[in-house]
Structure 1
């Protein structure tokens, strides 16, 4: 939050959920090295230790409402699961506290529930907090517009513990492709998830492929092919710290804003 013109800016205080998970730990580690953000408290459903690797005490998730009231953070950063995320955002919205949601895998009902909470407090949900991914989406939109009729294939690769497939980022890419085609008067065919047996390509279809292996942080590739040429657009994240820094950027940007539904693109464009 910004103080008066003659005062030093105050760090935005954040509550971190899923604190002992890989992304929760990454957020805590990133926050410890920043001057514009501080950790108010951290919770986890099953705290494995009394404090995180970055030295922040980890409280039981069952204490979340009490901790919100006691610490009154500026924002909550959530990388957990759809069910728990809905509960955290609901509690934060009731208290008028902003939420930054990096959790993926929501069904339509879950997405609607989050949007309803945005009527009471700012909610920023993104499938990916990498600034490079925003650049990728912009490049995809431009390429699809410039290459009408070209075949499109989207491939994503993640570590072997990731639950949802395709990834939330891949779904955002697919929506970008479909929107760009629609804007140019071109219809998209079905999304085809993998192929097996006889599977001739239908006009306008978009191939979708999800790979899970090892400890790969995240890779997304968009292939456009036609007219005896191909274009490949790729984003590769080599460390989860990329997403943690983006989530903290989002929290700093979101804190104190009016209730509403926001996206990470708003943060990136606002900083441009």
Structure 2
């Protein structure tokens, strides 16, 4: 049985993760971390991790970026493997991840969906054939509560495209103005926010008289929760280092 500390337990993803973890016979939540110490759940929830004494095998962090330093500091000091799914992290946070990964297993990915990571792999392999004669644009759509833009997934897909190109493209975030003509070396990334959209991403290759479009639509948050649990199971027992969803896809 894998004992999980769930960070961000009171959020929508936290609730979904509790359901997915409970349905898995090999995993259980033994503690939570949140801004408020909740007492309505069947496990202790801490707002001060110095009080946490449960035996923990892995941490899943699906919280707010403001809470990240505390949860990552706890993981690092106790050398507990951590799955990081929180977005909007600062440069200081990313630097801490790189340093911490030298000491214990750290799983960081922009998107926990199996489908997105398979698409990213496919894009890297296919874009060389489309480098000449096609303009590339990415459109991402998310719910109206999402804080960061563009999404980490949009950047993941953009980076996967650049990895496969001989000449790297510059990212342009939206367009505005009377002189906003597209340049040849441009990769446009556009963010839409509204309603309760869990997550949609489209990569468009627009050529002369033909359009190729690669789409991924997440119909619920369960996609990401299931990916987080798979990542947690993968991470337990690994050596110190950086891990991501591409490694789970290829495992």
Across the two proteins, how many residue pairs are aligned to each other? 249
User: How far apart are 1:186 and its partner, in Å?
Assistant: 2.1
* Residue 20 of structure 1: aligned partner: 10
Contact conserved, 1:140 with 1:222, CA < 8 A, in 2?
A: no
* Residue 74 of structure 1: aligned partner: 57
Gaps spanning 5+ residues in structure 2: where? none
Cα distance between partner residues in 1 of 2:34 and 2:66:
14
Cα distance between partner residues in 2 of 1:268 and 1:201:
35
Tell me the TM-score normalised to structure 2 length. 0.95
Cα distance between partner residues in 1 of 2:120 and 2:104:
27
User: How far apart are 1:58 and its partner, in Å?
Assistant: 4.8
Give me the CA root mean square deviation.
1.4
* Residue 60 of structure 1: aligned partner: 46
Cα distance between partner residues in 1 of 2:125 and 2:211:
15
Runs of 4+ in structure 1 displaced over 4 angstroms?
Answer: none
Cα distance between partner residues in 2 of 1:107 and 1:42:
23
- Which one of 145, 152, 156 corresponds to residue 161 of structure 1? 145
User: How far apart are 1:66 and its partner, in Å?
Assistant: 2.6
User: How far apart are 1:82 and its partner, in Å?
Assistant: 2.4
Question: Aligned pair in 2 of structure 1 residues 71, 19: CA closer, same or farther (>3 Å)?
Answer: same
Q: Does 1:84 align with 2:67?
A: yes
* Residue 154 of structure 2: aligned partner: 170
Contact conserved, 1:86 with 1:114, CA < 8 A, in 2?
A: no
Cα distance between partner residues in 2 of 1:191 and 1:43:
36
Q: Does 1:266 align with 2:247?
A: yes
Contact conserved, 1:101 with 1:123, CA < 8 A, in 2?
A: yes
Q: Does 1:46 align with 2:31?
A: no
Superimposed CA distance per residue, residues 17-62 of structure 1 (whole angstroms, 9 cap, x where no aligned partner): 1100011111111101001211111121124x5224xxx3352321
Superimposed CA distance per residue, residues 108-145 of structure 1 (whole angstroms, 9 cap, x where no aligned partner): 22101111111221000111111011111122222312
SS at match of 1:71: coil
Tell me the TM-score normalised to structure 1 length. 0.88
* Residue 8 of structure 1: aligned partner: none
Cα distance between partner residues in 2 of 1:51 and 1:251:
25
User: How far apart are 1:225 and its partner, in Å?
Assistant: 1.2
Superimposed CA distance per residue, residues 123-171 of structure 1 (whole angstroms, 9 cap, x where no aligned partner): 0011111101111112222231221121100000000000000001111
* Residue 22 of structure 2: aligned partner: 32
